[in-house]
Amino acid sequence: MKTSLIIISSFLIIFFILIYFNKINFLYLSEGMELQNMNVQGIECIDDKVNIIEHGGDIFELIDSQLNLIGSLLRKDAKTIKEKNSLVHSNSVLLINKNMLVSNAFDKLPARIASIDYDTFIEKGYVTEDNYTNLNNNSDVMAVYLEKISFNDSELIFSITKDFDHKYSYQFYDSNLSNIICSVNLDESNIQNVYWSKETNILSIIKNPIKNRLGQINNYKMSEQDNCFKFDLYNTSIILNAMELQDFKRCGNSNYYAYTKDRDSYIFKKINSFN
């Protein structure tokens, strides 16, 4: 009993010290935009416009609380249902020199990374077979999260992969996702997405501290080390919301948070405050 009290007391002391030194902060979100019968999996800021990625593959542009359909990630001309739906549950969409990189996550199937010409995608409204290239041939990977990183005049792609044993790997690639530059270590779990702030050189890992509940954003400062990079935890934001956090992005002067609950999704918007 005495040992338990000492452990609890020590934890509380450390906890409040971290709060005092702004290593842990709390955020409450209210008045979100409800999207009925939509399962939002990701948010991207493309050309300073907020894009919403829905589980079924549709990508929308969010303008003044209205969703305008941009296109679908469904491969409508594919021969099988499995191929048609190979890009559903996408969480990351990067636009690099008119080339769109898309990654997703599955529970029982290998994840995909697709290279798609953006102009053709916009023109056709969906992913045609001659505009689809699968870049992931690793059948042991169930989830991939991608983010574009600009650091010290270098353009990189940061990749987080999760295998079927729920173990994570973290790699830096060149801007074409062709060659691995190096790997890093992070102690993370329950990852939902990733975001890089070029204004602050902070990498944010978006996650749920309790599976499918609440929301947590771990912010890391990035620096160079031994021909690679290292991440030092800068602070942690705990979001007081009982739903499942899917993603967080900054676009313009606002922060956007995507949550899901049952069959519906919610987009919360807050005025930007840099870490």
Domains of the chain: 28-271 (2.120.10.30)
Q: Is the pLDDT of residue 274 over 70?
A: no
Q: What is the pLDDT of residue 2?
A: 53
In the chain the first and final C-alpha atoms are separated, in Å, by 40
Q: What is the pLDDT of residue 30?
A: 77
The total of other beta-carbon atoms located within 10 Å of residue 227's CB is: 7
Q: What is the pLDDT of residue 135?
A: 93
Q: What is the pLDDT of residue 25?
A: 86
Q: Which of 189, 132, 195, 190 has its CA nearest to residue 158?
A: 195
Q: What is the pLDDT of residue 35?
A: 94
Quick check: helix, strand or coil at residue 127?
coil
Q: Is the pLDDT of residue 1 over 50?
A: yes
Q: Which of 1-10, 155-164, 223-232 has the highest mean pLDDT?
A: 155-164
Q: What is the pLDDT of residue 190?
A: 92
